[in-house]
Amino acid sequence: MRRMINWRPPPLVAVILGALPFVILLGVYLIASDIRQTENPNDKLLPPPAAFADAMARMALLPDPRSGNILLWADTAASLGRLFTGLGLATAAGFVFGLAMGLLPLAGRTFSPFVAVFSMAPPMALLPILFIVFGLGEAAKIILIFIGVAPFMMRDMALRVAELPPEQLIKAQTLGASTWQIFLRVAAPQMAPRLIDALRLSLGPAWLFLIAAEAIAATEGLGYRIFLVRRYLAMDVILPYVAWIILLAFLSDYLLRKLQQRAFPWFQKEKA
């Protein structure tokens, strides 16, 4: 009898196993929904698939009578705009500060303690301050995402730079490199694929901060919509919206992974 740790499912079995939890979840929902619908056709808690289709057709295809916008797309555009602005700023700051902190003892001594302390501040506790200072507009939400994600990225980059073998930095110096040239040609290019890893890990927290900020103060956005329709127990809108958010997050993660494989082929080889 082979040990379990040595038994690898054949490809087809692996696909079936991977799909199984999804199928079970779906099956359980459909059965539970059906039971509730037969008891009470007006039940709002577990709507049947047709209700989702109706609600989504309303949200994604017809303009909202009050604003004239098609809500799903308006919400998606607003949320992704905030998310990517915040993440973009955090990534840029993480790259520049993290590399500087990891590469230059002077910058490390100056910023590391500050970043280490500041990264312990719960971003949600700072949100009221952001609303007070920046108002209820876009800035506060973007800054919340930035504050929530940037310290992690800076620290992660600084650690990754410190992991570069010291031999490499010495070798570069024996090839005549200046500090700037080492940054530009040795450290930064090797950190770029690792920055993508850090960005992928930050997607989850960034969505969390985005939805939280939108739930508290916004006039559009995916998080705003979910919390708005909660008042009417509109599960037929909430559940598809959640699925849509999951899809967006999954797609961004997938695209980042593909980008890393395409743009940095050496990184895959080095890891293998």
Binding site for other proteins (CB under 8 A): 165, 167-168, 170-178, 180-181, 184-186, 189-190, 264-267, 269-270, 272
Which residue, 15 or 175, is less far from other proteins as judged by CB? 175
Shortest spacing between CB 183 and other proteins, in angstroms:
9
Which residue, 152 or 267, is less far from other proteins as judged by CB? 267
Shortest spacing between CB 104 and other proteins, in angstroms:
15
Token pair of 132, please? 């007070």
Shortest spacing between CB 269 and other proteins, in angstroms:
4
**202/149 Cα distance (integer angstroms):** 6
Which residue, 73 or 266, is less far from other proteins as judged by CB? 266
Chain center to CA of 235: 24
Which residue, 132 or 263, is less far from other proteins as judged by CB? 263
Shortest spacing between CB 188 and other proteins, in angstroms:
10
Shortest spacing between CB 261 and other proteins, in angstroms:
14
**62/78 Cα distance (integer angstroms):** 18
Which residue, 69 or 173, is less far from other proteins as judged by CB? 173
Which residue, 136 or 177, is less far from other proteins as judged by CB? 177
Is residue 208 within 8 Å of 127, Cβ to Cβ?
no
Token pair of 245, please? 């958010």
Which of 190, 195, 164 has the alpha carbon at shortest distance from 259?
195
**197/191 Cα distance (integer angstroms):** 10
Give backbone dihedrals phi and psi of 63, rounded to 5 degrees, phi first.
Answer: -65, 145
**Which residues, in sequence order, are CB contacts of 223 under 8 Å at separation 6+?**
79, 210, 211, 212, 213, 214, 215
Shortest spacing between CB 176 and other proteins, in angstroms:
4
Is residue 82 within 8 Å of 139, Cβ to Cβ?
no
In the chain, the amino acid numbered 127 is: L
Which residue, 61 or 175, is less far from other proteins as judged by CB? 175
Token pair of 22, please? 């999804």
**231/227 Cα distance (integer angstroms):** 7
Shortest spacing between CB 253 and other proteins, in angstroms:
23
**Which residues, in sequence order, are CB contacts of 38 under 8 Å at separation 6+?**
none
